[in-house]
Chains A and B, each alone.
Chain A
Amino acid sequence: MRNTWLILKREYLERVRKRSFIVSTLLLPALMIGMLVLPNKLATMKSAGTRHIVVVCSNPDFARAVKSQLEGGGTETLRRGSGQKYRVEVASTPTDSLRSQLREKVVNGDIDGYLWLSDDVLSTRKVPYVARETSDFIEVASLQGALKTALLRQELVSHGVSAADADKYMQDVDLDAVRIKGGEEKKAGGPAQFITVIVLTMMLYITLLLYGVSVMRSVLEEKTSRVMEVVLSSATAKQLMAGKVLGVGAVGLTQIAIWIALGILFSSPALIGAKSAMAGIELPLGALPAFAVFFVLGYMLYSAMYAALGAMVNSEQEAQQWQFFVTMPIIIPVIMMTFVIRQPNSPVSMWMSLIPFFAPILMYMRIVVQTPPWWQIALSIGLLAATVWGVIALCSRIYRVGILMYGKRPTLPEILKWVKYA
């Protein structure tokens, strides 16, 4: 016990004092925020460049309708769709000379493209769009939408509906999503809720991976520097492994605690100042304790495997070749994340979240999205804890033999033999 504590203390202090600890503690949240904000920023950046297109149509009324649709007078859906801004010029004489002229302009880059609306467009419903680039499918869809809306309006007007009424009919509908939970009506979180779930789960995933790999590196370093030999003359391999896993885990918990503290610190002014910003986010009370539980269990599971891996190999390169087998079970639930968010209570989500290797991430995610029945949570934690116990028993045996084996990488039958050694 004393030895384990001494090893734990050394491991913890050495890591917490390192500059990289402070850097990663601050950098990771910044990175997460960046990951969420950047795609949005990029989309708005693109819309900053306005596309200049020409609409050619003999009917000036129709041409104007298309113009207003494209230039932001259009529907909400359209604007949300691509975020693309347009500057539209209208030409009302569809001649062949104009056509070749426009083609020339597209080639020269004077305009981005043109829409050619012939008189029979109402019946053929075919519109040529000539542009330098047509690969942005979202843009193509938004052009289609604009044309369709404009055509519909045109037809309504031609059937005797007044222009003002036609515009009114074309307005968007807002969906007011309400979730019923325990007999109470709750406003659904929408994108803010979605983002919070993703942030929390990614945080769990990154810390599991980060600290698991840390354990592996640290074991490997002790093995390659041979410092193991001296330490083993007073501590057992079991004490060494336990001290290391717990020490690195304690560093992880420290880091998470700092993040939570930072999160509360930065979000509280927002809570007081603008409650509306946070109003959409609704987290179950257990989100934070569950994070701790699933981090601790998940970390024990994966760090034991990483420790055994570190003991088996002789160099960082070798470790990288084999790391995949340990990392894969952490990556699978991340791939499934979107599916589970959308259908947290589907049978697939349920079964996947009960599998111990996926449980830390998937069950946690389900808890945050929409708390599943308590028996499922209990079962998943129970299975996970049992697996942790078994994996540690197995890995500590591999570790004990592996740390003293230098040279050739062991084969699978050899590793199985190690497990059987007394």
Chain B
Amino acid sequence: MTNTVELQNVRKTYDHFVAVDDLSFQIREGSVYGLLGPNGAGKTSTLRMMIGITAPDSGAIRLFGENFRRAHLGRIGYLPEERGLYKRMKTVEHLVFLAEPKGVNPQVAERKAKQWCERLELTAWMDKKIEELSKGMQQKVQFIAALLHDPDLMILDEPFAGLDPANAVGLKDVLLEMKKAGKTILFSTHRMDQVERLCDSICLIDHGRAVLQGELKQVKAKFGRNNVQLEYEGDADFLNEDGVVQSFNNYGNYVEVRLKPGADAQQLLRMAAANVRVNKFDVVEPSLEEIFIEAVGKREAVGKRDA
């Protein structure tokens, strides 16, 4: 299968500040990709290079299997982190204005804009000026603007920031539908918990560099299933014994246990069964956030050793 997006050793500096440093990743066609990292990690800088707002200092960006060309922009939908619309334009008029540069015929754009407005319950607002719409409605208009031209690649920068729950669910449904239709979706966010379940693959970046990347399943497998949630009755003193337990957090009848690297959860289960009554024993994956903290921690430790 081809890659919709390929970044090869991309580097971008602003004056002396390195925003993106030797970043490479590929996004498979039809997959959902997460570009994750804390604020200021270089996510937006990366996205801006992908849609030609800025150009990389070095490295290459390939879209749809070809070197970047502005013609590709017609196949990309972009929902920026900072959202805004022309306040004095009418809803449908505005949607047509944003769709036309993407190569959509104005009549077609108007028809589609109306269809989307109906679907997202904006019908009554189609001929109203943007400034008359509520914040939530403006957000909806902004989504429609990003996908009206039926893009093959959807790029969303912090898509759930400032969204009310209903709109967030609506957006997610639309995106899953697009995925089903074979479109590629790229999320960029610092709220890892929000996209964790949606992504097929991820790239964690920090200070402009990739810290960790790959298929989500593999990333998680690599970090191991070394967390155990245990519900019990009895005395949990056995957790203090030297053995498989690295650390634990006891809530009385419920304890979260972190196993030592390479330790077997089965051994803990046997110990538990011997000492307490086990109501529930669950081996869980670490969250992306935990993985990120661990990965960044390791890298920093390595960095310190190097220095």
Q: Which residues of A contact B142 (CB under 8 A)?
A: 230
Chain A residues with Cβ under 8 A from B232's Cβ? none
Question: Contact at B101–A229, with CB atoms within 8 Å?
Answer: no
Q: How would you classify the secondary structure of chain A's contact residues: helix, strand, loop or mixed? A: helix
Q: Are B85 and A6 in contact (CB under 8 A)?
A: no
CB distance from A227 to the nearest CB of B (A): 4
Q: How far is the CA of A233 from the CA of B97 in the complex (A)?
A: 13
B89: A residues at CB distance < 8 A: 10, 14
Is the pair B102, A230 in contact by a Cβ cutoff of 8 Å? no
Evaluate whether A6 and B101 lie within 8 angstroms (CB atoms) in the complex, with A230-B78, A233-B51 already known. Answer: yes
> CB distance A227 to B15 under 8 Å?
no
**In the complex, A248→B264 CA distance in Å?**
71
How many angstroms between the C-alpha atoms of A147 and B98 in the bound complex? 78
A225-237 interface code vs B (CB 8 A; 1 in, 0 out): 1111111111111
Q: Is the CB of A6 within 8 A of B84?
A: no
Asked whether, in the complex, the Cβ of B145 is within 8 Å of the Cβ of A3, the reply is: no
In the complex, which residues of chain A have a beta carbon less than 8 angstroms from the beta carbon of B73?
233-234
Q: Which residues of A contact B86 (CB under 8 A)?
A: 10, 14, 225, 227
A422 interfacial contact with B, CB 8 Å? yes
> Does B82 interact with chain A (Cβ within 8 Å)?
yes
Cross-chain contact of B84 among A14, A18, A226, A233 (Cβ < 8 A): A226
B55 touches A (CB below 8 Å): yes
A417 at the interface (CB under 8 A from B): yes
Chain B proximity of A130: nearest CB distance (Å) = 65
Contact A226 B53 (CB under 8 A): no
Interface set, chain A 195-254, CB cutoff 8 A to B: 222, 225-237
- Contact of B245 with A by CB under 8 A: no
- Once the chains bind, are B101 and A3 in contact (CB under 8 Å)? yes
Q: Does B80 contact A (CB under 8 A)?
A: yes
Chain A contacts of B74 at CB under 8 A? Answer: 234
In the bound assembly, the distance between CA atoms of A225 and B80 in angstroms comes to: 12
* Cα-based distance from A237 to B145 in the complex (angstroms): 19
- Do the beta carbons of B145 and A230 come within 8 Å of each other? yes
Please determine whether A2 and B84 come into contact, CB atoms closer than 8 angstroms.
no
B59 → chain A, closest Cβ, in Å? 14
Q: Encode A3-15 as 1/0 by CB contact (under 8 A) with B.
A: 1001000100010
Q: Is B87 close to A, CB under 8 A?
A: yes
**Does B100 touch A at the CB level, under 8 Å?**
yes
Within 8 A of B (CB), among A245-286: none
Flag whether A404 is at the interface (Cβ < 8 A).
yes
Q: Which of A228, A230, A233 has the most CB of B within 10 A?
A: A233
The answer to whether A226 and B101 touch across the interface, beta carbons within 8 angstroms, is: no
Chain A residues within an 8 Å CB radius of B277: none
Question: Roughly how many angstroms separate A186 CA and B54 CA in the complex, as a whole number?
Answer: 63
> Smallest distance from the beta carbon of B87 to chain A beta carbons, Å?
7
Interface, chain B (partner A; CB < 8 A): 15, 48, 51-55, 70, 73-74, 76, 78, 80-89, 97-98, 100-102, 142, 145-146
Chosen A-B contacts, 14 in total, with CB atoms closer than 8 Å, are A6-B101, A10-B86, A14-B89, A225-B84, A226-B83, A227-B86, A229-B82, A230-B78, A233-B78, A234-B73, A234-B74, A236-B52, A404-B48, A404-B54
Known interface pairs A2-B101, A230-B80; 19 further A-B residue pairs with C-beta atoms within 8 A, sorted by A's residue number: A6-B97, A14-B89, A225-B85, A225-B86, A226-B82, A227-B85, A228-B84, A229-B80, A229-B83, A229-B84, A230-B83, A230-B84, A231-B98, A233-B80, A234-B74, A234-B98, A234-B101, A235-B101, A236-B52
Interchain residue pairs A-B with the least CB separation, the first 6: A226-B84, A229-B80, A225-B84, A233-B78, A226-B82, A234-B101
